[in-house]
Amino acid sequence: MRAVVLVGGFGTRLRPLTNNTPKPMLPVGHHSIIESVVSQLARGGISEVVLALGFRPEPFVAAFPDGTCAGIPLTYAVEPEPLDTAGAIRFAAMAAGIDGTFVVVNGDVICDVDVAALVAFHHSSGAEGTLHLTAVENPSAFGVVVLDGSGVVQRFVEKPAPGTETSNLVNAGTYVLEPSVIERIPDGRKVSVEREVFPLMVADRTLFGLATDDYWLDTGQPHLYLRANLDLLDGRRQHERCAAVAPGATVAPSATIRHSVVGEGAVVGDGALVEDSVLLPGASVGDGARVRDSIVAGSVGAWASLLSCVVGSTATVAEGLELTGARVPDPTA
Ligand code: GTP
């Protein structure tokens, strides 16, 4: 079975990390998010992946020069302009000639769902589409779903106003779809699967949902991206683990790395402290600097102090500077 993986978004909420790197190409542990997504699909019996690309296709092509990811053959469908989620599904499915049941995954979701079980449920219920659902504490940031006793989606409301949610079950970003769904998507314009296509299927009672309680996390915001890394480090994933410090990182013997992921080629100077943080490949932390609850892709000067900050790959935090809750450079400036 084939899967379309949506990777063409702008990743605005993760700026500045996504200024130069598409969100699915950012690492969780020492592998990219997209590798984790494709590995999970492979475990669920997916044999070919179509990457639905728009914004910045080049890093994907460069990262998988032999045309495979996690051992799965890739094809690329590059939209001439961003078509939004349903437009991207249609474009990729048409480009790849998909004519049977297929899977769609958001390329920024890290999860342990059993895709084969989702497909089996889809076939046994005779659904036109099946959504993987997960329970969350704050559903208003997601597509909120109400199911009836047989798994038919009765309501799908994308990002309802806080306090108006009618369920804590949300769209977890993995779908099994029949090709008839492609025909529901208008051609040649932006179409949101969550706002336009799913509500039509709900009205026709052809959309089903299957809730699971395995590991699930949407990496789209800095605190969640950080958590995805620390969860992997803490052994919370079913099939994946990661070492705290990549073999190609250089950490001074007098530095302290506590509950953090230090990427390939990162450098940590004498007496520095890195705690509850992620240093991306190539990041540097100067002598005596303190980095806590932060994500660093760029450079932190000696004796600087960061708490809950995000430092982009081209940024330098000046020596001795103290920052709390900052994004460097500021994406809103
Ligand atoms: P934000 O800008 O922070 O909202 O991130 P995003 O652009 O990734 O948007 P969102 O998280 O809502 O997107 C969900 C998934 O759909 C992600 O994997 C995106 O890469 C993907 N996506 C969103 N819009 C498009 C699009 O127009 N084309 C393609 N191919 N993928 C898209």
Same domain? 177 vs 320: no
CA 303 to centroid of ligand 1, rounded, Å:
37
- Whether residue 240 lies inside any domain: the answer is no
Q: Indicate whether residue 88 lines ligand 1 (CB < 6 A).
A: yes
Query: Domain limits at 214?
Result: 2-233
Which residue puts its alpha carbon closest to atom 26 of ligand 1? Answer: 84
How do strand 284-285 and strand 267-268 relate by DSSP bridges?
A: parallel
Same domain? 13 vs 132: yes
- The pLDDT tens digits for 29-69 are 999 999 999 999 999 999 999 999 987 788 999 999 899 99
Which pLDDT does position 205 carry in this prediction? 97
Q: What is the CATH number of the domain that holds 107?
A: 3.90.550.10
Residue type, 191: V
Q: What six digits make up the tokens of 29?
A: 């542990």
Burial of 258 (0-12, 13-18, 19+ CB in 10 A): exposed
Whole-number mean pLDDT of the chain? 95
Q: Indicate whether residue 107 lines ligand 1 (CB < 6 A).
A: yes
Which pLDDT does position 56 carry in this prediction? 78
Which pLDDT does position 292 carry in this prediction? 98
CB atoms near residue 6 (< 10 Å): 26
Probe target for ligand 1 pocket from 33, 60, 78, 85, with the most ligand atoms within 8 Å of CB: 85
Probe target for ligand 1 pocket from 13, 75, 81, 108, with the most ligand atoms within 8 Å of CB: 108
Cα dihedral angle (226, 229, 232, 237), rounded to 10 degrees? 60
Same domain? 95 vs 141: yes
Same domain? 262 vs 116: no
- The pLDDT tens digits for 91-138 are 999 999 999 999 999 999 999 999 999 999 999 999 999 999 999 998
163 pLDDT band, cuts 50/70/90, is: confident
Number of domains in the chain: 2
Which pLDDT does position 310 carry in this prediction? 98
Which pLDDT does position 331 carry in this prediction? 87
Nearest atom of ligand 1 to the alpha carbon of 108: 18
- Whether residue 242 lies inside any domain: the answer is no
Same domain? 125 vs 33: yes
- Whether residue 81 lies inside any domain: the answer is yes
Which pLDDT does position 48 carry in this prediction? 97
Which pLDDT does position 166 carry in this prediction? 84
Probe target for ligand 1 pocket from 55, 60, 105, 106, with the most ligand atoms within 8 Å of CB: 106
Q: What is the CATH number of the domain that holds 269?
A: 2.160.10.10
- Whether residue 243 lies inside any domain: the answer is no
- Whether residue 139 lies inside any domain: the answer is yes
